[in-house]
Structure 1
Amino acid sequence: MTRAVPTSADVARLAGVSRATVSYVLNNTNAVRISEPTRRRVHEAAKELGYVPHAAARSLRAGHSRMVLMPTPAVSVGPLYNRFLSELQWSLSRLDYTVVQYGRVGLTGEEAARAWAELRPVAVLAPGAHDLGPQGVALLKRSGARAVITFGPYQVDGAHALLMDQRSVGRAAGAHLLARGRRRIGVIIPQEPGLEAFSRPRADGVRESAEGTGAQVVEVALPYDEGAAARLAARWRSLGLDGVFAYNDEYAMLLMRALQDEGIAVPDGTGMVGADDLMLGRLLRPRLSTVRVELPSGQELAELVDRMVSDPSAEPPARQLLGAELVERESG
């Protein structure tokens, strides 16, 4: 026979308390003082019965959900950003938010906003790749979202903006290569779809650092593929490059191995800089010079989200997230 779904009334009877007390304990309400022994009895009763609070009912009582929606990135964002996003999710859960990753890729603008709004999140953290415009922000807010936060290079009207200017990464790499005497600098442009939001601004940053120096900056296309790297290395000498910013550490490792297999020394033949400061870059020989990308802690941003949810009428701020620091090792 199918067992009946346990209710809060069942928990209350087993724990010997009122249903209101069960609600206060299981919803972490601080407005009412409840002793630790009572809290333990409620939690033990809920565990014994297999009772789980109903999220939709809790949302109706509160007037909003505790769901923070984070659309899944459409492209691989690499270990650095994955760690940052994981820490942010963990920190939000500690503040009693339920973080939901929305997995449908390919949605942009109002189409994406409409799909997200169906879930009635209290906040949306949207990567810039979704191109969420003012209409999409307004739609989400009409549907109950108290905070819409965008990650990207520019601010969207009505949204809180966490600005990520990738040009600073390219500027740091370019300035270092120029200081080391490099005058014809290659910039690796990944060919994987969706990475343009990162690679193009980084290339622009290298060009900005070279302005007025007489140095040349050359874009070099490279898919993330060993065969493609080997073919590029085979014609590397014809490009006449004495330095290269390899987009990130993973592409730098791929290219360095291919150049070494072709008999081109790093840094004597070509100075090389990556980005993200991955552990593997320190294990290479020569050790990889890189740009350390500095992001705020996930806890700091989770607390920012919580403040915005608590006061949705506050003026949407814009905040610069990225810092970039050159870490000099042996390859540059």
Structure 2
Amino acid sequence: MTQSPEPTSPPATPTSTDVARLAGVSRATVSYVLNAQAAGRVSTRTQDRVRAAAEELGYVPHAAARTLRAGHSGLVLLTTPATPIPRIGALFGDFLMELQGALHQLGYTSVWHGPVAGAGEQAARAWAELRPAAVLALPGTGLTPSAVELLKRSGTRAVLTLGMQPVAGAHALLLDQEMLGARAGTHLLERGRRRIGVVMPTESGLDLFSVPRLAGVRAAATLETGTHVEPLTLDCTEESAAELAARWPRLGLDSLFAYNDEYAMLVMRAFQDAGLAIPGDLAIVGADDLLLARLLRPRLTSVHFDTIPTARIVGLVDRAIREPETAPETHQLTRVVVAARDSG
């Protein structure tokens, strides 16, 4: 009768003491190096030796211990909206990726928190369970003043919003969608266009962006006499774009702000297939200034946010964490620029 092999004990978890012994340094030196606090304290050669020892042993710093030393978790929680980031806009998605990288450079750990059922305090309770040092709430995640207060009572040192409107009690990083729409409208008006269609995507969640963009176009149009602005609902399908192209001559419009470059490319192809000349029969303006916008023929005119450097934004986040008693501040992150090309 064969005997079952004796269960083996799991290997001992390496500690910072083990790393210090292998590298020939003190535990304090290990802590400085592995917690991104070695600048000006530990030579580059010693830092390399500590990292090599940690890698050889498979040592990973303990997040809870780091929290005790720093007084906060070092976790920056990014609340994910219900609408996928790529559908909001490629430029916005790229900006968020850069933001995560810059936070990492300062020693913070950024994590995405998936959509939460409910909003306000209900969502804030789910976020607070992770005890983040900061919460950066994206558009559409339901942050409210009472949710901000709950997060702060739970130990979150900084609450920031990234969106169109500030929320009481939180620092606000503003991306003015109405300004973007106004700039698109002004550009078309300056080129003699007076009857402007505005694409309103039917995709769930995009009304957070499309509604203020429409308001911006309308605000620009009020400055000129004899103007007309008409919202045009559009599915993100070739069939919907073809239907719009078929009825375009009956609409009596001379230009189109197409929400973003992706929708602009969709309708441009449909209009050209229908025999409409761009910009002869209509001018088209997109948004985000994607590379593909420059490769189209005619090249697509596009509006984009000229965002302030990501390092400066992360500096604001870092200061808000280090100085939690600072009164909420509002920062305009962008200026709006038109890349004028051939389509309008």
TM tier, smaller: over 0.9
Say which of 106, 112, 116 aligns to 1:101. 112
The alpha-carbon deviation at position 180 of structure 1 amounts to 1.8
> Is the 1:108–1:130 contact (alpha carbons within 8 Å) kept by the matching residues of 2?
yes
> Is the 2:183–2:303 contact (alpha carbons within 8 Å) kept by the matching residues of 1?
yes
In structure 1, list runs of 5 or more residues that go unmatched.
Answer: none
Deviates more, 1:293-302 or 1:247-256: 293-302
Say which of 67, 70, 93 aligns to 1:62. 70
Q: Distance in 1 between matches of 2:214 and 2:202?
A: 14
Q: Distance in 2 between matches of 1:221 and 1:282?
A: 25
Q: Which string of whole-angstrom CA distances, capped at 9 and with x for unpartnered residues, describes residues 159-186 of structure 1?
A: 0011222111111111121222222110
The match for 2:25 is 17
| Root-mean-square deviation over aligned CA pairs | 1.6
The alpha-carbon deviation at position 32 of structure 1 amounts to 8.3
Q: Find out whether 1:216 has 2:231 as its counterpart.
A: no
Say which of 240, 254, 257 aligns to 2:269. 257
Q: What secondary structure is seen at the aligned counterpart in 2 of 1:162? A: strand
The match for 1:298 is 310
Q: Distance in 1 between matches of 2:40 and 2:279?
A: 66
Deviates more, 1:23-32 or 1:246-255: 23-32
Q: Find out whether 1:78 has 2:77 as its counterpart.
A: no
The match for 1:45 is 53
Q: Which string of whole-angstrom CA distances, capped at 9 and with x for unpartnered residues, describes residues 174-218 of structure 1?
A: 112122222211000000010111100110111111114221111
The match for 2:154 is 143
Q: What secondary structure is seen at the aligned counterpart in 2 of 1:130? A: coil
Q: Distance in 2 between matches of 1:160 and 1:133?
A: 13
Say which of 103, 116, 124 aligns to 1:92. 103
1:176–1:18 Cα change, 3 Å: closer
Q: Distance in 1 between matches of 2:92 and 2:218?
A: 25
1:54–1:267 Cα change, 3 Å: same
Say which of 280, 283, 288 aligns to 1:268. 280
Q: Distance in 2 between matches of 1:29 and 1:90?
A: 18
Q: Find out whether 1:235 has 2:247 as its counterpart.
A: yes
> Is the 1:295–1:322 contact (alpha carbons within 8 Å) kept by the matching residues of 2?
yes
Say which of 213, 216, 222 aligns to 1:202. 213
Question: What TM-score, normalized by structure 1, do the two folds share?
Answer: 0.95
Q: Which string of whole-angstrom CA distances, capped at 9 and with x for unpartnered residues, describes residues 281-332 of structure 1?
A: 1111111111122111211101111111111111111111231112221111
1:121–1:268 Cα change, 3 Å: same
In structure 2, list runs of 5 or more residues that go unmatched.
Answer: 1-7
The alpha-carbon deviation at position 23 of structure 1 amounts to 2.0
The alpha-carbon deviation at position 231 of structure 1 amounts to 1.5
Q: Find out whether 1:34 has 2:46 as its counterpart.
A: no
Q: Distance in 2 between matches of 1:111 and 1:147?
A: 19
The match for 1:160 is 171
Q: Distance in 1 between matches of 2:170 and 2:233?
A: 34
> Is the 2:76–2:134 contact (alpha carbons within 8 Å) kept by the matching residues of 1?
yes
Q: Distance in 2 between matches of 1:291 and 1:25?
A: 44
1:15–1:151 Cα change, 3 Å: same
Q: Find out whether 1:320 has 2:332 as its counterpart.
A: yes
Q: Distance in 2 between matches of 1:45 and 1:152?
A: 44
Q: Distance in 2 between matches of 1:148 and 1:270?
A: 45
Q: Distance in 2 between matches of 1:234 and 1:271?
A: 16
